[in-house]
Amino acid sequence: MRKPRRARTASFRQTATNDESGDLSSPLANSPGFLLRLAQLRTFDEFYRSFAGLGVTPAGFSVLALIAANPGVRPGTIGEELRMKPSNVAALVNMLAAAGYVQRKTDASEMRASLLHITEAGAEAWREMEQIHRETDARLMEHLTSTEREWFVALLRKFLRR
């Protein structure tokens, strides 16, 4: 039988309790860094399960999202937003271009810069992915009430200073 949930809206407390897996004492049970790592593992598991067969990684998906929403965006801007190295952005753009989702156009004012645009096929793929991503996020948050979800997102943004 599942134990009753320990964390409740009215009585959030940071205590050095053991986790629910039994008698194990976990010194990191309330460490934000440790909990963020586990949360990320759960997020990746859900993402890969949902996106299996769509041929895109979480990183590729977030790059496509920015190109879809910002026609003509530069790779450097994407790297800053997503905290990715230029070489990683370039590899992901290559992959998206090879899939026919993204086109590079040269900036007339600066010959070396490439501006990124989504193709029609890319826009269609993006709509499908966005829907699946929304469902994945909803499943990730299913243990939280709607107020807690708002707080969780707001606190993550404040944690990240965004």
By residue count, the chain amounts to 162
Minimum separation from the CB atom of position 133 to a copy of itself (A): 7
Residue 73's CB is within 10 A of a number of other CB atoms, namely: 18
Closest residue by Cα to residue 118 from 78, 154, 88, 86: 78
Q: Which residue has the tokens 């501006």?
A: 115
Nearest residue (CB) to a copy of itself, 19 versus 110: 19
Taking the least distance from each CB to a copy of itself, the nearer of 68 and 115 is 68
Q: How far is the CB of 12 from a copy of itself (least distance, A)?
A: 4
Are the C-beta atoms of residues 149 and 157 closer than 8 Å to each other?
no
Query: Is the Cβ of residue 66 or residue 90 nearer to a copy of itself in the bound state?
Result: 66
Residue 94 CB, shortest distance to a copy of itself, in Å, is 21
Q: Which of 40, 99, 110 is nearest to 64 (CA)?
A: 99
The least distance separating a copy of itself from the CB of residue 131, rounded to whole angstroms, comes to: 12
For residues 60 and 88, give the distance between their C-alpha atoms in angstroms, rounded to a whole number. Answer: 10
Which residues neighbour 68 within 8 Å (Cβ) at sequence distance 6 or greater? 118, 122, 123, 126
Q: Which is nearer to a copy of itself, 103 or 148 (CB)?
A: 148
DSSP conformation class of 30: T
Q: How far is the CB of 130 from a copy of itself (least distance, A)?
A: 7
For binding to a copy of itself (CB under 8 A), which residues are involved? 5-7, 12-14, 19-21, 24-43, 46-47, 58, 62, 65-66, 68-70, 73, 77, 80-83, 130, 133, 136-137, 140-141, 143-144, 148-162
Give the residue with the Cβ less far from a copy of itself, 14 or 111.
Answer: 14
